[in-house]
Amino acid sequence: MIQVKNLVKSFKDGQTETKVLKGIDFQAQQGEFIAIMGRSGAGKSTFLYQMSLLDFPTSGEIIIDGEHSHNMTSEQKTNFRLTKCGYVFQDYALLPELTTIENVVLPLLMQNINKKDAYQKAKEALVRIKLGHRLKNLPSQLSGGEQQRVSIARAIANHPKILFADEPTANLDNESSQAVMDFFLQLHKEGQTIIMVTHEEQYAKLAQKIVKIDDGKIISQIQN
């Protein structure tokens, strides 16, 4: 599904060059549920951005669903994110002037799914994540946990090949966190490929594999 070979990412700021990812080799199979762990600043988010094609690496290769990322134009990458990735951002990243259902339906409409089906799918995703009663609310009228769930519904509404989630439970209380993790497990059972960054051991243990990153390198990969 995803193959990463000798991935390097560095940031140049004038004279100083910061190497954040220092040669990562990694792969994920179809249907796998992988947790990525590591200290703050280890490079977890950066790694996720590279794999989801939100960013491009300094060197190295990313082959995703059989395609080499460096061969893609930026428009193709956008389209790839639209059709094959779901991405749950660390800070929800909802659009403030769109209601709950509009936030979820937008990527579906962009895929040229007809309006009725798109709204139907969006509603299903939201009902599934227990937000069926908040369809017409704006993000500002939702709690943090609810916003995170909208963000997840948006990511999974069209059944993407891969779901990326960057600390989906970071801002949630235990109960909400547990609900999100239960949902991920359920998706995983249905065959969803999930790559999730998390700080919390208890949630990482729910995944099939835990990948530990430190100082820009993978230091261990443990099969649960």
Partner 1 sequence: MFLLNLKIGFFLALRQIRRANVWTTGLIVFVMVLTFLNLVVVSGILVGLIEGSIAAYHAQYTGDVIISNLNNKKYIEGSPNIITILKNMDDVKSFTPRFSTGVIAEANYQTKKDTDKANTASAQLIGINPLAEDEVTGLSNHMLEGSYLTPNDYDKILIGYFLLKQYVTIDSPDFSALEHVYVGSKIRLTINGVTREVTVKGILKSKVDTIRRGLFMVDSEARELMGRQDNNVSEIAINLKDGVDPITFKQKLLLAGVDKSAKVQTYADAQPQFLKDIVNTFATLGNFLSSIGLVVSSITIFIVIFINALTRRKFIGILKGIGINGKAIEISYIFQSIFYAFLGSAIGLVLVYLVLVPLFRAHPIDFPFSDGILVAPLAGTLVRMWLLIVSTIIAGYIPSRMIVRKNTLDSILGRN
**Is 215 in contact with 41 (CB distance < 8 Å)?**
no
From Mg ion, partner 1, ligand ATP, none, interface partner of 183 (C-beta below 5 to 8 A by class): none
Question: What phi and psi values does residue 143 have, to the nearest 5 degrees?
Answer: -75, 165
CB-based contacts of 20, cutoff 8 Å, min separation 6: 9, 10, 11, 43, 46, 216
Comparing CA positions, the residue from 38, 37, 43 lying closest to residue 19 is: 43
42 binds ligand ATP (CB under 6 A): yes
44 binds ligand ATP (CB under 6 A): yes
Binding region for partner 1 (CB under 8 A): 49, 54-55, 75, 78-83, 85, 87, 89, 93-98, 102, 106-107, 109-110, 112, 138, 154
* From 45, 69, 151, 177, residue interacting with Mg ion (rule: CB under 5 A): 45
Shortest distance, CB of residue 93 to partner 1, whole angstroms? 5
51 binds ligand ATP (CB under 6 A): no
Which three-class secondary structure state does DSSP give residue 120? Answer: helix
Which three-class secondary structure state does DSSP give residue 198? Answer: coil
From ligand ATP, Mg ion, partner 1, none, interface partner of 97 (C-beta below 5 to 8 A by class): partner 1
Angle (nearest 5°) at CA 212 between 211 and 217: 110
11 binds ligand ATP (CB under 6 A): yes
Chain positions contacting Mg ion, by CB under 5 A:
45
